[in-house]
Every structure is written in C-alpha cells, then in structure tokens.
Chain A
Amino acid sequence: MAEHDVFVVAEQLEGKLSDVTFEMLGKARSLAPLLGGRVVAVLIGHEAQGLAAQLGAADHVLVVDDPALQHFVPERAELALRILLRNEQPALTMIASTSMGMDLAAALSAALDWPLIAYCSDAQIADGLVVATSQVYGGKIAVETASESQHTIISVIAGVFPAAEGQSSVPAASMQTVASGVSGADRVRFKGLSMPEAGDVDITRESLLVSVGRGIGSKDNIEMVEELAAALGAALSASRPIIDSGWLPKLRQVGKSGLTVKPKLYLAVGISGAPEHLQGMKDAELIIAINSDASAPIFEVADYGIAGDLFDIVPALAERLAAVRSE
C-alpha cells in the first residue's frame, strides 16, 4: 500500500513529457520524506517505457499500459487512474493544472471522494496533512488550504516549481508496468491532433507578451523590441497607436478597441497607460513597465516600473537574456 507515498501523474504529449511533470517530481521529492513515503511517478500510455526512463527522480515508476491510451483520452485516462489510486491509496496525488489535468483531478476527487486543492503554487505537510497554497481570482489572491483527509489530490500550476529538481539522468530505482484494467470506456474517442497554423498568433493565448506603445517613435524601432520578445520567448503586442499607424497587425492590439489579455507577463515598452489600454491588460499576472515619464499612468497598474529610456534598456535586456540563456 502506498498510504504515505506521493504520486505524481506524469503528463505527456506527442511522445514528450511536459516540463510540469518534472516540476512536480522535484517538489514531490521534498514532500515525500515529510510523509514518510516514496515518490511514485505514474505514467499512463502505451509502450511508453522510453518516457518512463526519464522519470528517474521518482523512487518508483508505475507505468499503466493501455493500447487505447496511446493518446490522452479524458474518460479512459481518468478511469485508469481511478482504478490505480483506489488500489494504491497514496497520501498525496499531484496532477498538473493543465487541459489534460483538469479532466483528471476533479473527476478523481469526485469519484474517490478525496479532497482536491486546485491551482497550487506551493504545498507543505503540517501534522501529517497536506497544506497547499493556491492562486485564485486571477492571481490576485492567495489561499492556504489544509486537507482534512489522509488522501489528497492537488493540481499544480505549471511553471512554479523548478524543473531541474525533478530531472534525472538515470532511471528510477524500480519500475512496474500494469495493465489499466479499464474496459468498455469509449464514450470519448480520440480522433487526432491539430497543429497550429504557422504565423498565426493569438495574443490572448500567449502567456508572455512584450507590448509596444507610442514611445517607440517609429516603425523601424520595433525590430529592437521584437528581439527582446524573442529572447524572452514572448509574443509581440501593441497599444492602439501602433496598430493605427499600421506598424503591427490589428490582431496584436491590446486594449479597449483591441483584445483583452491576461498573460503571466506583460512587459509594456513605451506605453503610457491610457485607461483604454489598461482595460485590456490590467489583469496580467506580472506587469513590468518601461516609460520615460515617471508619472505615466501605466505605473499605477504595473508591479514593477522603470522610469528610463527604453532605447537603452530594451536592447540591454535582450542582450543579457540571450547571454544568460547561453551560459
């Protein structure tokens, strides 16, 4: 029985384990000793032993093999996990707060009658019980919640824990493959994957945005900001005057007459912060603004501000990011 163990449900897409899997493994490593148990990685798929070998940060890897789960399918994957967890009864189950994870975590919570704490950015063990910190209300409020049960599920936000802690160059000490035991669950059927069209950028779905405003002066200067965006892995967006001038396509416009975005990072470059613009981005999780005018309204909503010359700061930042990345 696994009643002191921490189970981490690995997430994979197109034959690749997602970063959040390693992030959760890393965190699990610090939690499991406090519960007096092991870290067990659970991988659901078909002929996925190659991926299983990457889960060495776990003490034990459970591979749930099911030919019908070559690709993630909500109902079937959830049932497979349900059977497993009901047998194993771990103290803590960690599931990624992602599209796939959403169909798993709450369903398991309802089916097994185990508490679920969602949107977790941290977790601790206190008096043998799981206490998790969640980000709610668009990240504006943090909640510390304690589970009242010996078996808890938490769904973990991607990008909060360091992935490095969950990576390992050697496979786990032990591995076991079990059949999923699921039969007849085919009310949801996988029909294929669609890839995004090249060149389409939907800024409302981008988690990192570098946004350029009137302070940029001319169209030619946008290239400098594009380099910064590339260094960050961010997409480029803009305030209305830039769009009006035709320097960027309409779909990049943030604001009242453009799109509303709620990214993890909104880096505002040369944007004064007119109310019409703020309306479209003030709910971003982290706002950093660069503007030469220290009294620009953007600084009322930004978390961090730099009252300086963007023509100095932007290239310097892009250069430093590129340098650090290659270190």
Chain B
Amino acid sequence: MGINIIVPVKQVPDLVEELEINSEGTDLEREWLKYKMNEWDENALEEALQLKDAHGGTVTVLALASGDVDEMLFTCIAKGADKAVKIVGDFEESHDNHTAARALASAMRAMPYDLILTGVQAADDLDGQVGVLLATYLGLPHVSVVSGIEVDAAARVAAIHQEYAGGIMANFEVDLPAVLGVQAARAVPRYAPVSRVRQAMKTATIEEIEAAEPVGAGAGISVRRMYKPESSGHAEMLEGDTDDVVERVIDILRERGIWRA
C-alpha cells in the first residue's frame, strides 16, 4: 500500500559562523554566510524515512531554488529520499515564509501525497512557520510540535502527539492528507556517508519545476532594523564580594525574564 510523503525543506544560516549585519542594517550580511539544512527539517526527513521503512511508499523532498540548495537535496537523496524537486522562480535569497509557502503550495497542487512532514520551525521564521502557512494555503489540517507519528495507511489517519511545556502531550488523530510540523523524529537524524552524497551528486537528478503562479507580494511586513542584542566575545565579568555577585546574578535573571519572584 505505502504512503507518499512530501518533505518541504530549506536551508538556514549556519550559526557556527558569526552572524554579521549588512551595511543597511536590515538583514544579515550574506556574502560569507554558510548555510545548512534546517535541523527541524532534518528531523522531518528522518521521520519520513522511518515511516517509509515501516509502510513502504515514497519520500520526496521539495525546496525553493533560493541560493544553492543542490548539495542539501543530494544529501537528502543520499539519506534515502526517492526524489528531490526544486521550485525555480524569482526568489530572493532572503524571502519570507508566506512567499515560500505560496510557492510550495502552487507546486504541490500538481503532486500526489498522503502526508506532508516539515520541520516545525526554523531559525529565521520571522513571519511564522512555513508548515502551518502551507497547510492553510492548501486547505489541509495541520498540527505543530509533533513527535510520535503513527500512520494507518489504509484508514488514511495518523495518530500523533503534540508536545506542550513540562512534558505534557496531547494525543490527536488526524485525517490524511495533513501537514505535520515535526519537533523531533523517533530517531536521531541519520548520517549520510560522504561517498553516498558524492554518488548522488553524480548519478541522481533534481527535478526542476517552475513556480506555477506569481507567488504574491511578500508578507505584509517590512524590516526596519536587524541588530545583535549584545556583543559576542568575552563574558562580562561580575566583580565584588559574594553578596554583590549574587545580587547581580539575580538582577540579570530578572531582567531576562528568566526568573521571577
């Protein structure tokens, strides 16, 4: 029987590199940025591959052709995805998620699927999470912060957990097709051996499709200013005797909203 799963994926700036702000002060300085696959999308892909192992079917990864996404897509194939699709269009490297979701939705209207798994969020989700936006544009049910997915392919339903704070979980049953925002896969995302990735680069092909409709004008927001909240580098050393230092620490915790009395 099998389930056909689509996993929309994207890249985000790799936080190993120090992030710099561009000269206009409205975006990251992207010239030296390194990108890596969104770690939640890696979990979504892992979960998809696990479901495919259990039920059969196919896993297709889908990404906007914004910047260089080929290595990411070949790595997904090396991990076990059956197909990789790139949506080609006039996307700026730093596009918003509403634009992305509209492009994904337009591409997916022509694709068959039983389930859409995507990372619950990404580090640059300024205008909301792609999975939820996508589901709404496609008119599909969606649940976010999901772990623990079980699929009954014949009945076309999935049983899932939505995680809340403090370890509490809500159990839901969802009709398929649906969009699930994956928080954590049932196993640590697998490693793709380099030889497999290089093999994929040589032998696999990434399908390209044109963004079908004009993807619409942005997300209705404009960035006024992007900045680093505090300077990186050495810690600010707290001076004084024990009591001074203790008071300072408590003040800092309060200021940050981390601890309130």
**Docked-complex contact B256 and A13, CB < 8 angstroms:** no
A265 to chain B, nearest CB (A): 5
**Interface size range on A against B:** 35 or more
**Docked-complex contact B143 and A187, CB < 8 angstroms:** no
A-B contact count (CB 8 A): 250
Q: B202: which A residues are within 8 A, CB to CB?
A: none
Given contacts A102-B121, A102-B129, contact A146 B221 (CB under 8 A): yes
Per the bound structure, the CA–CA distance linking A64 and B164 in Å amounts to: 22
Confirm or deny: A69 has a beta carbon within 8 angstroms of a beta carbon on chain B: no
Q: B234: which A residues are within 8 A, CB to CB?
A: 299-300, 305
Most chain A beta-carbon contacts within 10 A, residue among B166, B173, B220, B233 = B220
Confirm or deny: A59 has a beta carbon within 8 angstroms of a beta carbon on chain B: no
Per the bound structure, the CA–CA distance linking A312 and B245 in Å amounts to: 11
Q: B137: which A residues are within 8 A, CB to CB?
A: 110
**Docked-complex contact B246 and A316, CB < 8 angstroms:** yes
Contact of A205 among B28, B167, B261 (CB under 8 A): B167
Chain B positions within 8 Å of A, measured between CB atoms, are: 13, 15, 19, 21, 28, 97-98, 101, 120-121, 123-129, 132-133, 135-137, 141-145, 159, 161-175, 178, 181, 219-230, 233-238, 242-243, 245-250, 252-253, 256-261
| Leading 7 A-B pairs by shortest Cβ distance | A196-B167, A115-B220, A106-B128, A305-B235, A106-B132, A110-B136, A302-B235
Given contacts A139-B229, A232-B259, contact A109 B224 (CB under 8 A): no
Q: A230: which B residues are within 8 A, CB to CB?
A: none
Chain B residue at smallest Cβ distance from A201: B167
Chain A residue at smallest Cβ distance from B219: A115
Per the bound structure, the CA–CA distance linking A300 and B234 in Å amounts to: 5
Chain B residue at smallest Cβ distance from A18: B165
Confirm or deny: A1 has a beta carbon within 8 angstroms of a beta carbon on chain B: no
**Docked-complex contact B223 and A145, CB < 8 angstroms:** yes
Per the bound structure, the CA–CA distance linking A135 and B257 in Å amounts to: 14
Given contacts A149-B220, A187-B174, contact A320 B128 (CB under 8 A): no
Confirm or deny: A237 has a beta carbon within 8 angstroms of a beta carbon on chain B: no
Given contacts A71-B170, A106-B136, A302-B235, contact A321 B250 (CB under 8 A): yes
Contact of B221 among A142, A148, A325 (CB under 8 A): A148
Mask of A54-89 contacts with B, CB within 8 angstroms, 1/0? 000000000000000001111100000000000000
B109 to chain A, nearest CB (A): 15
**Docked-complex contact A188 and B168, CB < 8 angstroms:** no
Q: B175: which A residues are within 8 A, CB to CB?
A: 187-188
Q: A140: which B residues are within 8 A, CB to CB?
A: 15, 19, 228-229
A227 to chain B, nearest CB (A): 14
Contact of A114 among B142, B220, B252 (CB under 8 A): B220
Contact of A110 among B19, B133, B233, B260 (CB under 8 A): B133
Confirm or deny: A306 has a beta carbon within 8 angstroms of a beta carbon on chain B: yes
Contact of A141 among B120, B227, B249 (CB under 8 A): B227
**Docked-complex contact B15 and A188, CB < 8 angstroms:** no
A53 to chain B, nearest CB (A): 24
Per the bound structure, the CA–CA distance linking A208 and B256 in Å amounts to: 12
Contact of A304 among B167, B235, B260 (CB under 8 A): B235
Given contacts A141-B228, A306-B245, contact A208 B258 (CB under 8 A): yes
Chain B residue at smallest Cβ distance from A102: B144
Q: B235: which A residues are within 8 A, CB to CB?
A: 287, 289, 299-305
Given contacts A99-B164, A308-B245, contact A193 B143 (CB under 8 A): no
